[in-house]
Structure 1
């Protein structure tokens, strides 16, 4: 079930729109991947308007999204999202696969890139 704030799964889990990274649909259902990398699979043989609703709500939560190359190993996607109940967007770092998001050097590069992006966008 889709509400204005989240997708509610049959097992009772609540997946907020602003924490969804992507949803991939196939003939059996959907796989939703959250920004923390955790995936949820739901069987939906007849999804109705749910795919369009998910796309609309996740897209509406995104204020800005920029990918920045950090070094020769890869980069990070900087995403600002609207969070219900907050006036300012929440920024998140989505590092390329294989990069260690806890690496202090990479975190420092990502923080520097975020400041540049925020300054350039005025967000």
Structure 2
């Protein structure tokens, strides 16, 4: 009853008992779920907190813009986290996916919907491009994401086996086209 009253008065969900991490000042809980042994998984305004069993270390927060994919099926949340491996000219960030993590939830609450909503909201645009012909080309995902404190950032996630230099070259060209398009829109808006 006290937690419910606190939520109504503050507009914030309380941090569930048993949570193994430490939230940043001002970080708000949006949804939570419980694993089979009482582990707590949190969705906050800043990211997804995975329990120690799923992350291999203490509870760890994955920022929403670094969740490449999250699916809910058969009582488990499967999360693919991306690492920022390089920053290419023009502010383009090269990503590499980690192996999927399966997090069973016996009490999912609103967590699956919250994760879906937050990951989707971070994406402004997403396109896959083939980067060559035949077996040697490969491809990559070009994803414009909303990153707190940085605005819209172009993330590039190559398919396995894609030539890294080809990815870098194409990514720089795509970033330049996006900048030109942004300048064109700004000029058009200034004329109105």
Q: What TM-score results when the alignment is normalised by the length of structure 1? A: 0.82
Contact 2:131–2:166 (8 Å) recurs in 1: no
User: How many residues end up aligned between the 2 structures?
Assistant: 119
Cα displacement (A) at 1:90: 1.6
Cα displacement (A) at 1:119: 4.8
Distance change (3 Å), C-alpha of 1:106 and 1:18 = closer
The answer for unaligned runs of 5 or more in structure 1 is none
1:64-122 per-residue CA deviation (whole Å, 9 max, x = no partner) reads 21222211122211111111123x2121111123214xx32332123223433x15753
2:97 maps to which residue? Answer: 37
The answer for unaligned runs of 5 or more in structure 2 is 1-41, 53-58, 83-95, 184-192
Contact 1:68–1:113 (8 Å) recurs in 2: no
Contact 1:76–1:110 (8 Å) recurs in 2: no
* Root mean square deviation of aligned Cα: 2.0
Distance change (3 Å), C-alpha of 1:115 and 1:67 = farther
2:142 maps to which residue? Answer: 78
2:57 corresponds to 1:10? no
Q: Whose helix proportion is higher, 1 or 2?
A: 2
2:168 maps to which residue? Answer: 107
Paired with 1:120 and 1:77, the residues of 2 have a C-alpha distance of 20
Paired with 2:69 and 2:180, the residues of 1 have a C-alpha distance of 26
The list of structure 1 runs, each at least 4 consecutive aligned residues, that deviate by more than 3 angstroms after superposition, is none
Paired with 1:7 and 1:71, the residues of 2 have a C-alpha distance of 36
